[in-house]
Structure 1
Amino acid sequence: MPADLAVIGLGPYGLPLAQAAVAAGIPTIGYRTGPEASSLSPAELRRMVAQGFRAITGPAELGRVRTAVVCAPVPPGAEGGPDLGQVEAAARTLAARLRPHTTVILESPVPPGTTEEFLRPLLESGSGLRAGRDFHLAYSPSRVDPGNRDFTPANTPKVIGGLTPACTESAAAFYGRLSDKVVRARGPREAETVQLLETNFRHVNTALVNEMAVLCHDLGIDLWDVIRCAETKPFGFHSFRPGPGVGGHSVAQDLTAHTGRTLRMAELAQQVNGRMPHYVVQRAAALLNEHGKSARGARVLLLGVTYKADLADQQGSPAREIAMRLMELGASVSYHDPHVPSWSVLDRPLPRADSLYEAAADADLTILLQQHRTYDLQGLSVKAQLLLDTRGATPTGAAHRL
Structure 2
Amino acid sequence: MIHRLKNYLQQGKTSSYLIKTFLMYGLIAVSIIITKVLIARFYGQEELGLFSFFFGLVSLVFLFTSFGCPEALTQVIVKNPTAFPDAAKKAGRLILIFSVIVTIPFLTTNFFLPTTGLKINFALYLMTYTFFYLSYSFFRGQKQFVTGTAYSLLNRLLFIGAIFAGAYLSAPFEIVLSGLSVALLLSTLPTLPALLRSWRAAAEKSTIPFREFLLLAFSLFLMQAGFYLLREADLIIIPYLTDFKELGLYSAHSSLSNIIRLIAYVFPVVVLPLAVVNKYKLKQSLTKILLLLIPFSTIILGATYLLVPLLYGPEYFHGTLPLALVLSSAIMVVYSYFNSVFVGENRVSGAVLKIVGLDFVLSLLVNTGLTILLVWSWGIIGAPIATALTVLLKIWLNVYGIKKLRRGKENNGELAAENTTPAAL
Which bin holds the TM-score, normalised by the shorter protein?
A: under 0.3
More contact order relative to length (CA 8 Å, sep ≥ 6): 2
Q: From the two aligned structures, give the one with the greater helix fraction.
A: 2
Task: Give the TM-score taking structure 2 as reference length.
Answer: 0.26
Tell which structure's C-alpha radius of gyration is larger. Answer: 1
Q: Which has the higher strand share?
A: 1
